[in-house]
């Protein structure tokens, strides 16, 4: 009888401790403390050749400040980010030149939320009829 009572007390004590830990983890998850997407730093990164110098995301727009790093002039055709309307740029950017691109018609969520979307820049080298793509990602806090 004594061994059974000791075993039951042992299980009950640790059972309550485990229940308290699970409740604490549940509370942290409910309040968003355990949500890694809220702690990801803001970034705008593309493949080598095009640099995202600066960027801004609002509820209805995405603005990118891009720089050509291909060591030759490029003809920028279009820029796509998430569900925004495609920005048909059709403009030449010289080597080390920059271009401000504003994408409108977006449904990015509400201010304060995290924005994480893939981006695609379509361009061609000057004199070439072949289009190329430079893919990237934009992670930002909607402002």
- CATH dotted code for 38-141: 2.60.40.1940
Domain spans of the chain, in order of start:
2-34, 38-141
> Which tens digits make up the pLDDT trace of 68-122?
999 999 999 999 999 999 999 899 999 999 999 999 999 998 988 889 999 999 9
What would the 3-class secondary structure string for the chain be? CHHHHHHHHHHHHHHHHHHHHHHHHHHHHHCCCCCHHHCCCCEEEECCCEEEEEEEECCCCEEEEEEECCCCCEEEEEEEECCCCCEEEEEEECCCCEEEEEECCCCCCCCCCEEEEEEEEEEEECCCCCCEEEEEEEEEECC
pLDDT at 47: 95
> Which tens digits make up the pLDDT trace of 27-67?
888 887 776 666 678 999 999 999 999 999 999 999 999 99
- pTM for this structure? 0.74
């Amino acid at each position: 009888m004594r061994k059974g009572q000791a075993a039951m007390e042992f299980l009950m004590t640790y059972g309550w401790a485990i229940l308290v830990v699970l409740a604490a983890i549940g509370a942290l998850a409910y309040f968003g403390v355990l949500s890694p997407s809220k702690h990801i730093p803001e970034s705008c990164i593309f493949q080598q050749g095009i640099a995202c110098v600066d960027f801004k995301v609002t509820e209805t727009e995405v603005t990118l400040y891009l720089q050509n790093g291909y060591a030759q002039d490029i003809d920028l055709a279009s820029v796509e980010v998430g569900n925004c309307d495609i920005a048909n740029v059709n403009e030449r950017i010289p080597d080390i030149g920059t271009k401000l691109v504003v994408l409108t018609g977006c449904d990015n969520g509400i201010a304060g939320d995290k924005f994480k979307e893939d981006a695609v820049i379509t361009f061609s080298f000057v004199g070439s009829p072949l289009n190329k793509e430079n893919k990237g990602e934009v992670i930002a806090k909607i402002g």
